[in-house]
Structure 1
Amino acid sequence: MRSMLRHIGRLTGKELRSLWADPILLAFIFYVFSFAVYTIATGAKFEVEAARVAVVDEDHSELSRRISAALLPPLFRTADAISPAEIDQAMDAGRYVFVVEIPPQFESDALSGKSPTVQINVDATAMAIAGNGAVDIQSIVLRETASYLRKDSGSSKPPVDVVVRAKFNPNLNSMWFTSVMQVINNIAILSIILTGTALIRERERGTIEHLLVMPVTPLEIMLAKIIANGAVIVGAALVSLQTVVRGILGVPIAGSLPLFTFGVVLFMFSVTALGLLLATYARTMPQFGLLALPVIVMLYLLSGSTTPLETMPAWLQFVMQFTPNAQFVAFAQAVLYRGAGIELVWFQLVAMAAIGLTTLAICRVRFAKTIAAQD
């Protein structure tokens, strides 16, 4: 055991020196956990902000003017007034995301209780804001109409008082979600890429033959690559959380960083082993890239970091429970967002450990065969 640990330590040092001697790779890691996190968190927004809107006012009443005036920043830009004949041309040209049509006799029909219809035309190609923006406009129309009718009837008390409490993100700021999820996704992506490229680089440079003549086992070589690359990614992720997410972006971290670090370490063993496993099926770097890309995309999109698992088909939810990414995303969201303790996330930790051990066992067999084939 002591000899094995000594071999792993020396091989790990070799991997770290190799990584340190690659300035392009170091620059890439720095970019992924700094500028990429900041730009995506501040640029990719899911809430409505400064949306372009126009109003077709065929009523020209006090109520229709109130509705037009209520479409204000920061949700919307100041509404433009257009004619009915301009709607199709304006939306075809992409000038507006929303066009609100207020029909003739709208105010008089509302006052007489006839329930008039307001049409909201939505450019659904703007998926990030189309749904939320339509709901916001609908709420504005209903609110202004109800307020106007209460004033006209002399009643000031609304029939229902609805209070919404948003937990864990009171301002519904998508940056709080996007920044943390970007760090989590980068951990998974780089874990596969770095360990896989480490093996491919050994093979392309011919240094894999040097390892074969050394008194080391395939398991020791594999663990050294996993530990070295995993340590770099864990360190970069923790620095990114503290400096970029919490420091620059001002996103609060509710949970325990030591608990999160422990979960990251468990997650690292499974995904880094997956990267090595994929590398054993590739002979060159382009082959590895083509093989790893669909795996990374699938795990990225179906892990629950971009869309909730609950929205996926039942069979797919079941399958994804056996992937480390889905368990890690559930664990990270519970710890970092909701401040969960180990008593609430123990299942995800156990699941990640089990998946990691299984992946390591499969990788060890395949890695040993690959090393033996070089002999």
Structure 2
Amino acid sequence: MTNGGLFSVPGLRRLRVMTQKELLQLFRDVALMVFFLYSFTGDIYLAASGVSMQLKNAAIATLDADYSFASRELASRFQPPYFQPAGSVADARQAIRRLDDGDVMAVLDVPPRFQERLQRGEQVSVQLQVDTSNSVLGFLASSYGAQIVGKYALEAAAQREGLAAAGGIAGPVVEADTRVWYNPNQNDAWFMGISELLTVVTLFSILLPAAAMVREKERGTIEQLMVTPLTSFQILFPKVVAMTLVILAGSAIALFGVLGPLFQLPMRGSLVTFFLITALYVFTTAGLGLLAATVARNLAQVGMLTVVILMPMLLLSGAWTPIEAMPPWMRGLAWISPLHYFLDAAYGILLKGVGMDLLWDSVLAMGGLGIVVFAAGMRRFGRQFG
């Protein structure tokens, strides 16, 4: 009995039948399908709408020891959208207590004789105490606070010198003309939504092929498949094809059912290119799932191994920390993370509208990693069951 090549008529028929088998087995797993649908809809919606790295309405209290017009004017500058006034405190002890309780994020401390020293042209310091338990938001609060105080000090100096009445500050003025590209409104929902979509794609690219393999091992059907005319590749590849089709469908639901209509994600580039690159990425990451399946003995172990593989990929992808800011020994690891290249491609296509002329290196790197990882998984599978 001849086996036939993969792209021969018998080989393609076997591929179709095996792919249908994998899809039927997946759709019969109700719990996994519910988790899958939630991840590509509800989870992405929550990430896009509920997670923000911008400073919005940070509660700020005022410790005013001057009780002057100038101190009240300065305190009134801390307004939405960045800050939200949260009353005043009587002394430093109460200020620390409100910071400890999380009642406020910052306290503006205006010293005595603030207005008097301003009018005399003397140097005067204003303290901004900031809760930096969340380092990102704490840094933003201190930066915005410094800008507000600096602008107020400049206006006070100009007014004291009588420059305001003369029509403005004399001498050359440097203005910063900032142009924000690709996300002009700095909408966190776009970044967080795409980031969560890529995370979910990565999760199921590892989990679904591994779960399918371990399910075969638990039921004892993998040995039955090995005595058929099918090769190891013809057993493993349909699993990857089936899971790729399902993940592409989930990605389409996320883009056209959640991010597009609910958050107005622009999707500026070619969606055909995006889905082709997503398919390549699923193939690349599925190899890791097949490797995990050769180690795991049951579905519980598959879940644990998926987390072990997923977390380093996320942290080394550059989504949260630029690769240039990582320690030198971690940068090399980041360059072998397939998610790093998928991240560049996805943001480039969806937000920047770039094409393959700029993404070819990321695609080439993903393809190379995919061949190596899938070959390693197939080799280990052959040794284990061959």
Instruction: Say whether the fold is shared (TM-score over 0.5).
Output: yes
Distance change in 2, residues 1:48/1:371 (3 Å) = same
C-alpha distance after superposition, 1:80-137 (max 9, x if no partner): 1112231122112221111111111223333433332111111111334111111111
2:118–2:156 CA contact under 8 A, matched in 1: no
What is the aligned partner in structure 1 of residue 97 from structure 2? 89
The AA in structure 1 aligned to 2:248 is V
2:73 aligned with 1:66 = yes
2:294–2:381 CA contact under 8 A, matched in 1: yes
The AA in structure 1 aligned to 2:241 is I
What is the aligned partner in structure 2 of residue 78 from structure 1? 85
The structure 2 residue matched to 1:210, chosen from 218, 221, 224, is 224
The structure 2 residue matched to 1:112, chosen from 110, 120, 126, is 120
* Equivalent position SS for 1:79: strand
1: distance between equivalents of 2:115 and 2:176? 26
* Equivalent position SS for 2:295: coil
2:66 aligned with 1:21 = no
C-alpha distance after superposition, 1:252-272 (max 9, x if no partner): 222221111121111111101
2: distance between equivalents of 1:179 and 1:368? 39
Alignment map for 1:344-363 (pairs within 5 Å): 344-363=358-377
What is the aligned partner in structure 1 of residue 246 from structure 2? 232
Alignment map for 1:177-196 (pairs within 5 Å): 177-196=191-210
2: distance between equivalents of 1:280 and 1:61? 73
The AA in structure 2 aligned to 1:142 is G
The structure 1 residue matched to 2:324, chosen from 291, 310, 314, is 310
2: distance between equivalents of 1:248 and 1:138? 35
1: distance between equivalents of 2:90 and 2:65? 8
2: distance between equivalents of 1:326 and 1:169? 20
2:86–2:104 CA contact under 8 A, matched in 1: no
2:141 aligned with 1:127 = no
1:45–1:128 CA contact under 8 A, matched in 2: no
C-alpha distance after superposition, 1:302-357 (max 9, x if no partner): 21122222221233122211221111112212222211111111100111111111
The structure 2 residue matched to 1:325, chosen from 315, 319, 339, is 339
The structure 2 residue matched to 1:279, chosen from 293, 311, 315, is 293
What is the aligned partner in structure 1 of residue 162 from structure 2? 154
* Equivalent position SS for 2:268: coil
2: distance between equivalents of 1:146 and 1:171? 28
What is the aligned partner in structure 2 of residue 51 from structure 1? 58
2: distance between equivalents of 1:358 and 1:248? 39
The AA in structure 2 aligned to 1:283 is R
What is the aligned partner in structure 2 of residue 10 from structure 1? 17
The AA in structure 2 aligned to 1:127 is S
1: distance between equivalents of 2:53 and 2:206? 28
* Equivalent position SS for 2:85: coil
The AA in structure 1 aligned to 2:139 is G
Q: How many residues align?
A: 372
The structure 1 residue matched to 2:259, chosen from 245, 252, 255, is 245
1:234–1:265 CA contact under 8 A, matched in 2: yes
1:195–1:225 CA contact under 8 A, matched in 2: yes
2: distance between equivalents of 1:164 and 1:62? 33
Q: Which moved more, 1:157-166 or 1:241-250?
A: 157-166
Deviation at 1:171, TM superposition (A): 1.9
* Equivalent position SS for 1:78: strand
Q: Which moved more, 1:270-279 or 1:79-88?
A: 79-88
The AA in structure 1 aligned to 2:366 is M
1: distance between equivalents of 2:309 and 2:118? 56
2: distance between equivalents of 1:339 and 1:114? 53
* Equivalent position SS for 2:58: coil
2:316–2:333 CA contact under 8 A, matched in 1: no
The AA in structure 1 aligned to 2:59 is R
What is the aligned partner in structure 2 of residue 219 from structure 1? 233
Deviation at 1:223, TM superposition (A): 0.3
2:343 aligned with 1:336 = no
2: distance between equivalents of 1:93 and 1:299? 36
1: distance between equivalents of 2:270 and 2:118? 54
The AA in structure 2 aligned to 1:146 is L
Deviation at 1:366, TM superposition (A): 0.7
Percent identical pairs in the alignment equals 30
2:71–2:115 CA contact under 8 A, matched in 1: yes
The AA in structure 1 aligned to 2:94 is E
